[in-house]
A and B are shown apart, each in its own frame.
Chain A
Amino acid sequence: MDFTFPWSSLLGGMLLGVSAFILLLFNGKIAGISGILSGLVKPIKNDFLWRGLFLIGMMLGGILGRDAFGAHIPSEFSIPTWLVVIAGLLVGIGTKIGNGCTSGHGICGMGRLSYRSIVATCVFMVVAVVTTYVHLHVLN
């Protein structure tokens, strides 16, 4: 294992923390991406536009990171499209049932020391590690 200190990961993570902080401090909203996006599916009056603007900001922020800061965004994935679709469906269903994803539970929820979020984060981490193990070392 080669280890060089991952400054870019730390800096990127801190930007997520700053984003979550200002969204909660000014608007009272949690920067949980699955929660913000799932609210676009069933629009509620006065609760739609900010979600759309957050999404547009994210899309532009990703491109800014690529073009101005040299971040690598892959132009294709190593798994077939049908598997990408199944994964997307599972992520949508799971985060909706479990009320959160890596950002909502992992950063905002754990950052509020929410017991539910700590449990959820442990569960999805363990399941993802086991899934990766089976995918890479058992099926291949």
Chain B
Amino acid sequence: MTYFIALAAGLLFGLGMAVSGMVDPNNVIGFLDITGNWLPDLAFVMGGGLLVFLPCFLLIIKPRSKPIFAESFSLSHLKSIDKKLVMGAAIFGLGWGIAGLCPGPVASSLLAGNVDVIYFFLAMMAGFALVDFTQKS
């Protein structure tokens, strides 16, 4: 059952990425270009996501001791604002600002027939592996 949920949640996520306009980097760059011809639309994507997730989390998930089909919630228990968090977010922001692409829209565009999407995806996976490798040694 958890596998069906994963597939269904992925489908909804990909659909949301496409419908919201996040899959078009021109929209993303237009949103980030606040001093130019600013396109505010994508603020409503995060807004819409929070509009649903925040109340559902606080009212339905938070009171529960465990998920419906699993033994425990996999939530981060990290609390402190450390150098890693800030450095990582800054490096991510740099990459996001260069191309207007972040992981969700890229994964949702993999079958859309743009070979640069696949290059981005592979480079991103290499980035994950690189950090994995250096953090271990």
Chain A residues close to B by CB (< 8 Å): 1, 3, 6, 8-31, 33-34, 37-38, 40-42, 49-51, 53-66, 69, 71-79, 81, 83-99, 101-103, 105-116, 119-121, 123-133, 135-137
Contact = CB atoms under 8 A, between A and B. Distances in A.
Contacts of B5: 22-23, 26-27
B121 to A, nearest CB: 7
A131 B94 CA distance: 6
A73 B116 contact: no
* Chief secondary structure at chain A's binding surface: helix
Given A15-B19, A108-B53, A92 B127 contact: yes
B13 A75 contact: no
Nearest to B47: A13
A106 B75 CA distance: 15
B47 A10 contact: yes
Contacts, number: 487
B23 A61 contact: no
A73 to B, nearest CB: 4
Contacts of A58: 10-11, 13-14, 17, 104, 107-108, 110
Given A13-B20, A79-B98, A94 B92 contact: yes
A64 B46 CA distance: 21
Given A126-B93, A136-B29, 12 more contacts: A9-B43, A17-B49, A17-B50, A28-B70, A30-B74, A56-B10, A101-B103, A103-B104, A113-B54, A116-B80, A123-B90, A127-B97
A12 to B, nearest CB: 2
B18 to A, nearest CB: 3
A41 B64 CA distance: 31
A99 B78 contact: yes
A133 B33 contact: yes
Residue from the set B79, B86, B132 with the largest chain A CB neighbour count within 10 Å: B86
